Amino acid sequence: MECCVIGTGYVGLVTGTCLAALGHDVTCVDKDRDKIAALEKAEMPIFEAELEGLVSQGLSSGNLRFSTDILSAARSSEFVFITVPTPSDGGGHADLSYVDDVARTIASAIQDYKVVINKSTVPVGSTKRVQRIIEESMEEYHEFDVVSNPEFLREGSAVSDFMKPARVVIGSDSQKAIMRMTELYRGVDAPLLVTDPVSAEMIKYASNAFLATKVSFINAIANICEVVGADVREVSLGMGYDERIGFEFLKAGPGFGGSCFPKDCRALLMIARENGYDFDLLEGVLKVNDEQQERMVAKIKVLVGDLEGAKIGILGLAFKANTDDLRDSPAMNITRMLVMGGARVTAYDPQAMENAAAQLESVAFAGNAYEVAEGADALVLLTEWDEFKWLDYERVKGIMRCPLIIDTRNCLDPAVLRKLGFAYEGVGR
């Protein structure tokens, strides 16, 4: 089936590549010429496991192409995916200008039946908005349908999330579009939920907001655990065995970040407010999240005595492991707060350092974790990269000025570290 994917950001690139791997004929388009030129050589703009190999496969099989010509790619495809960014406009609203521009371009490409699929995270009601923009921009009417098909990919496991999702959600009022979408996703083994467009859009926001709520909930529990002397990891485990709760998204840490949870929670708050509902619970989720990052800094401050002049080593800057994404990263926020507090900070991240260097002033960057530890008064683990779990901590202790580890991801073994002579501090344990 002929597909065109407009926008080669995270979602677009993964969607297009995976559709090609399923055997569809896919053209991924973007107006960024340099990006398209790089992708034609299978050079990745992002770090994402499995993606590079699949792009190379798609290019050599001929199922996957890259182009800057949106109009002709859309014209020759039955399925046109919109996967452009919807950044926050600062006030909590999603900025829909990219989506609107693409809708106008698609209007001039429609000459025979097309299914236009919105995968960008858009406010409730946007499917109808895209439908209206296309209708108004068409010179001559041709049949088309607009479908909401939210994505649930996680950075770091995006390819497997696409191929083996928990569900595929199709929001449409058109029987014809639903049939075509069902055919398109035939190779994906997952329950298919067919619903109306507004409910599909709401499913996306509600899912992210609920997962963010779980994270803030467990962080709040972690803070209580610290006071009463419980271990939040044991508490999460004990809760998770109850299938109604589940084990996922109950890891306490420095707070949630990334391009989705903070932005989508703020957008949902706004949608609720504009519809006359004060979503106090979600407001609390964001408040706990902001405070959690500040709590990490306060904890470090107490442990090192005084931030002013303290030499602090940072392990990890990405918002979570297995990605180079720094958007709304708690690690970046905490690092900035430490610098503002007067600390001398050296940082290392296996993938995100190049991007971080452009954003962080007054931070030195190291080539590996051991260089970060050299002469440090404290080592602060902020992103749970596997390589930090398997460091030679005996060597680390030997090169630090003061053997203190603050593990904001609870991913190290306190007993082992304490035996080696470290002072160890986790979150909620």
Strands (E), 89-187: 114-118, 144-148, 168-171
Q: Residue 77 or residue 333: which is nearer to ligand UGA going by CB?
A: 333
Q: How far is the C-alpha of 171 from the C-alpha of 148, rounded, in Å?
A: 5
Structure tokens given for 216? 């803030």
By CB atoms closer than 10 A (0-12, 13-18, 19+), residue 422 is: buried
Q: Residue 134 or residue 260: which is nearer to ligand UGA going by CB?
A: 260
Active site residue 260: yes
By CB atoms closer than 10 A (0-12, 13-18, 19+), residue 153 is: buried
**Cβ atoms of 401 and 377 closer than 8 Å:** yes
Which of 166, 171, 281, 298 minimizes the C-alpha distance to 223? 298
Q: How far is the C-alpha of 342 from the C-alpha of 253, rounded, in Å?
A: 24
**Least Cβ distance, residue 284 to ligand UGA (angstroms):** 16
**Least Cβ distance, residue 111 to ligand UGA (angstroms):** 32
> Going by DSSP bridges, is the β-strand pair 114-118/404-407 parallel, antiparallel, or unpaired?
unpaired
**Least Cβ distance, residue 85 to ligand UGA (angstroms):** 11
Q: Residue 269 or residue 304: which is nearer to ligand UGA going by CB?
A: 269
Task: From residue 188, give the alpha-carbon distance in Å to each of 51, 118, 181.
Answer: 17, 18, 12
Interface residues with ligand UGA (CB under 6 A)?
Answer: 121, 151-155, 208, 211, 215, 249-251, 253, 256-258, 260-261, 319-320
Q: Residue 21 or residue 321: which is nearer to ligand UGA going by CB?
A: 321
Q: In the Cβ-directed half-sphere of 144, how many Cα atoms lie within 13 Å?
A: 34
**Least Cβ distance, residue 335 to ligand UGA (angstroms):** 15
What is the CB neighbour count within 10 angstroms for residue 342? Answer: 11
Q: Residue 249 or residue 279: which is nearer to ligand UGA going by CB?
A: 249
**Least Cβ distance, residue 247 to ligand UGA (angstroms):** 9
**Cβ atoms of 82 and 129 closer than 8 Å:** no
Q: In the Cβ-directed half-sphere of 27, how many Cα atoms lie within 13 Å?
A: 18
**Least Cβ distance, residue 405 to ligand UGA (angstroms):** 19
In degrees, rounded to 5, the angle at the alpha carbon of residue 400 between the alpha carbons of residues 397 and 403 is 60
Q: Residue 197 or residue 258: which is nearer to ligand UGA going by CB?
A: 258
**Least Cβ distance, residue 229 to ligand UGA (angstroms):** 22
Task: Exactly one of 260, 265, 402, 411 is catalytic; name it.
Answer: 260
Q: Residue 246 or residue 309: which is nearer to ligand UGA going by CB?
A: 246
Which of 381, 376, 302, 382 minimizes the C-alpha distance to 346? 376
Q: How far is the C-alpha of 335 from the C-alpha of 341, rounded, in Å?
A: 10
**Cβ atoms of 411 and 381 closer than 8 Å:** yes
- Residues with a known catalytic role: 260
